[in-house]
Amino acid sequence: MTATPGNPVIAVKNLVKHFAMRRSWSQRAAVSVRAVDGISFEIAAGSTLALVGESGCGKSTTAKLILQLERPDSGQVLLDGEPITKPTPRLRQHIQMVFQDPYASLTPHFKIRSILREPLAIHRVCRRREMRDRVAAALDDVGLTAEVMPRYPHELSGGQRQRVGIARALAVKPRLIVCDEPVSALDVSIRSQIINLLLDLQESQGLAYLFISHDLDLVAHISDVVAVMYLGKIVEQAPTEVFFAGPKHPYSQALLASSPVPDPHRRVQFAPLRGEIASPTDLPSGCRFRTRCPLAIDKCADTEPPLRTVGADHLSACHRADELNQ
Amino acid sequence: MIATTPSRKTEVAAESGDSPTSGPLMEIQALEVRFPGNRGPVTVIDQVDLAINHGEILGLVGESGCGKSMLARSILGLVPTPGKITGGRILFERDDLLNMSTQAMRQIRGDRIAIVLQEPMTSLDPVFTVGNQITEVLATHRPEMTRHERRARAIQMMEQVGIQFPANRLSQYPHELSGGIRQRVMIAIALICGDVRLLVADEPTTALDVTIQAQILELFVQLQAKHSMAMLLITHDLSVIAQTAHRVAVMYAGRIVEVAGAVPLFDGPLHPYTRGLMHSLPRAGARPRKSRMAAIPGTVPNLADLPPGCPFFDRCAHRADDLCLETMPVLEQAARGHWVRCHRWRDLAPYEPPSPQTAAS
């Protein structure tokens, strides 16, 4: 059920990243943005961990830390059990990324052929004369034909471009793909095509996905494990079925209740959550969510709730998790 | 032909309308918008007939490039050059907006018809304070008001849209506000004249987080009822429509393909495109996890290169070869207030909704 049988492809242990910033030129004392504040998870081959949360919760920083685009302040990222300390070519080959916006993530003056050859050349995946075949094979894997090779990105539709983005990630045979909102920029009718493609590729190639998304319905469909982030911390983590059967953190419950249901018979009259996410430079004492939490008690202001086991494979960081029964 | 009988489409009367005026608030008749292209003009809005009733929320759904934002701009008289409205009429309270002088249109825009745009980050001017931008509308439309009155009215309006400490916010700049508050400011700007009959909201929550989206949608529904205004809610998100709209219009490739009440549309969509959209929504519990999702094959057609027949032809699972390829279907009334543009709607099997949701929340 969980993504922890045997050896995980990627493991993250107590990862911390704070960014220093000054409030203004006159205020010399540095204020730090606690973007990622001690998170841990593992992803096994062939499985998907979904990272869910509002903008500014640290999802993208987590992705950057895994890709070694940012150096962590403390904590470790382990690839196949070995700690990663610097961005080696091997790491780059094993961990690839699919970006949110297929309009911005393909170099506009490269032909599709060159876009796909580049990773092959950099990682010396194959000989020069094999490249054409490898590129054609990569395109075939994502449901495109060799016809697109001499074209430029602007000649393709959004869905086709996202397929090229996926082909580029796949070309070097990675183990883990970080998918940062891979379908949110696409049209509704194209989304399912790309999701189906990602599911097929995972099955045929045993890929692990870190799937960053805010779309809970989509997460319910494609992930094996869900981790909910709030202000730099994971506040709840559980296998997908367990999570959607009964989340054990008031923030997760609010997220679920906030996402609109495509059914006019089930209208929600009132927004389930008041207020907005607190500033990561000025965190509330105790529980970070208490300023918006409908269940906050005095204890929440005093003590930060640890992420603890509240059920089989089910972690929650809430003092009152045990009272939350659906 | 439908072009001559658009008023029939408004049979789903606006019960909630406060106005004694019978008939719709706005009637768009045979609207056509064209842009010059490399190989002759491209028709981005083609023969669109649509009525917006008093006091209703009309949802307009469609994919990017289907013409839904262009329809909003046409209503406000803001079609960007080199685009041109090349045909049709837009009747608003018995006036044809398309025959109006620029001056007269300016009187209406911002006063009786207002718009809220998608990106609260880019639609506010970064170099003016929030107060400045809210009161600017009053300075234009209510020149008789004094500065004090304008300020008081702005504070009152900001309170109404749920902005805390409005007096302090007046002197702040847009960059100091969060996305949710910026969108509230945009709504305050749209409604400040207090006389808005039609509010056009173009993807008003797309850039927001879900918890904030829920707050803003709640606000829209409240304000719409309170001001008893009509609202045209444009979005690509069927869930947002399901939660808010009274009636829904579905657009595809510049044309309206289906119009119906929200409940009939979600319970029994008739157009194959609408059905495809409904089925491709991921719904918790609707199908086994990690199974393949229903998808509409292919991509949206290029507007410059549309077939003579149905624009959905090459993606449609129910097409009849000759008829659908060669003849453009007309918008037909399938049931009272339910209109569909498809040759084959009578032949389709009854709609089967995706299996019922297991309660996820």
Q: Look at residue B357 and tell me whether its pLDDT is greater than 60.
A: no
Pairing of strands B26-35, B42-52: antiparallel
Q: What are the backbone angles phi and psi of residue B140, rounded to the nearest 5°?
A: -80, -50
Q: What are the tens digits of pLDDT across the range B191-243?
A: 999 889 999 999 999 888 889 999 999 999 999 999 889 999 999 999 999 99
**Percent over 70 (pLDDT), chain B:** 91
Which of A191-205, A226-240, B110-124 has the weakest average pLDDT?
B110-124
Sole residue written with tokens 């808005």: B196
CB contact under 8 A, B280 and A261: no
| Contacts with B300 from chain A: Cβ below 8 Å | 157, 187, 189
| Contacts with A279 from chain B: Cβ below 8 Å | none
- Give the SS3 label for residue B30: strand
Instruction: State the smallest CA–CA distance between residue A271 and chain B in angstroms.
Output: 5
Pairing of strands A208-213, A176-180: parallel
- In the sheet with A82-84, reading across from the earlier edge strand, the strands are A31-44, A8-21, A74-79, A82-84
A282 touches chain B (CB under 8 A): no
Report CA torsion sign: B169, B172, B174, B179: negative
Choose from B58, B267, B290, B303 for mutation: most chain A CBs within 10 A.
Answer: B290
CATH number of residue B87's parent domain: 3.40.50.300
Q: Is residue B178 in a domain?
A: no
Report CA torsion sign: B73, B74, B79, B82: positive
Q: Given this model, what pLDDT does residue A114 score?
A: 94
The residue of chain A nearest to residue B353, with distances taken between CA atoms, is A263
Cα dist from A279 to A185, A284, B166, whole Å: 27, 9, 20
Instruction: State the smallest CA–CA distance between residue A127 and chain B in angstroms.
Output: 34
By C-alpha distance, which of B209, B240, B220 is closest to B60?
B240
Q: Which domain holds residue B40?
A: 2-108+236-284+293-340
Q: Are A31 and A21 in contact (CB under 8 A)?
A: yes
In chain B, the number of structural domains is 1
- In the sheet with B247-252, reading across from the earlier edge strand, the strands are B113-116, B198-202, B230-235, B57-61, B247-252, B255-261, B338-340, B332-335
The residue of chain A nearest to residue B242, with distances taken between CA atoms, is A264
Q: Is residue B116 in a domain?
A: no
Q: Is residue B130 in a domain?
A: no
Q: Given this model, what pLDDT does residue B22 score?
A: 57
Average pLDDT score over residue span A252-278: 88
CB contact under 8 A, A157 and B299: yes
Q: Given this model, what pLDDT does residue A161 score?
A: 93
B361 touches chain A (CB under 8 A): yes
Instruction: State the smallest CA–CA distance between residue B2 and chain A in angstroms.
Output: 28
- In the sheet with B42-52, reading across from the earlier edge strand, the strands are B42-52, B26-35, B84-92, B95-96
Q: Is residue B22 in a domain?
A: yes
Q: Given this model, what pLDDT does residue A247 score?
A: 94
Q: What distance in Å separates the CA atoms of residue B116 and residue B183, rounded to the nearest whole number?
A: 8
Q: What distance in Å separates the CA atoms of residue B132 and residue B127, rounded to the nearest whole number?
A: 10
Q: What are the tens digits of pLDDT across the range A208-261?
A: 999 999 889 899 999 999 999 999 999 999 999 999 999 999 999 999 999 898
Give the CA angle between residues B287, A260, A157 to the nearest 5°: 70
Q: What distance in Å separates the CA atoms of residue B231 and residue B244, rounded to the nearest whole number?
A: 10
Q: For the purposes of burial, counting CB atoms within 10 Å of the CB of B132, is it exposed (0-12), middle (13-18) or buried (19 or more)? A: middle
Q: Is residue B254 in a domain?
A: yes
Write out residues 187-226 of A within 8 Å (CB-CB) of B: 187-193, 195-196, 199-200, 214-218, 220-222
Count other Cβ atoms within 10 Å, centred on residue A50: 25
Q: Is residue B145 in a domain?
A: no
Find all residues with CB under 8 Å of B333, minimum gap 6, and list them. B8, B9, B339
Average pLDDT score over residue span B22-40: 90
pTM of structure: 0.87
Q: Given this model, what pLDDT does residue B264 score?
A: 95
Q: What are the backbone angles phi and psi of residue B221, rounded to the nearest 5°?
A: -65, -40
Q: Is residue B226 in a domain?
A: no
Mean pLDDT of chain A: 90
Q: What are the tens digits of pLDDT across the range A109-143?
A: 999 999 999 999 999 888 888 999 999 999 999 99
| Contacts with A272 from chain B: Cβ below 8 Å | 211, 214
Q: Look at residue B332 and tell me whether its pLDDT is greater than 80.
A: yes
Q: Look at residue B349 and tell me whether its pLDDT is greater than 70.
A: yes
Q: Is residue B77 in a domain?
A: yes
Q: Given this model, what pLDDT does residue B207 score?
A: 82
- Give the SS3 label for residue B131: helix
H helix or E strand, kind and range, residue B200: strand B198-202
Pairing of strands A74-79, A8-21: antiparallel
Residue of B243, B276, B284 with shortest CB distance to A268: B243
Count other Cβ atoms within 10 Å, centred on residue B20: 6
Size of interface A-B (CB pairs under 8 A): 144
Q: What are the tens digits of pLDDT across the range B165-178?
A: 999 999 999 999 88
More confident residue, A226 or B64: A226
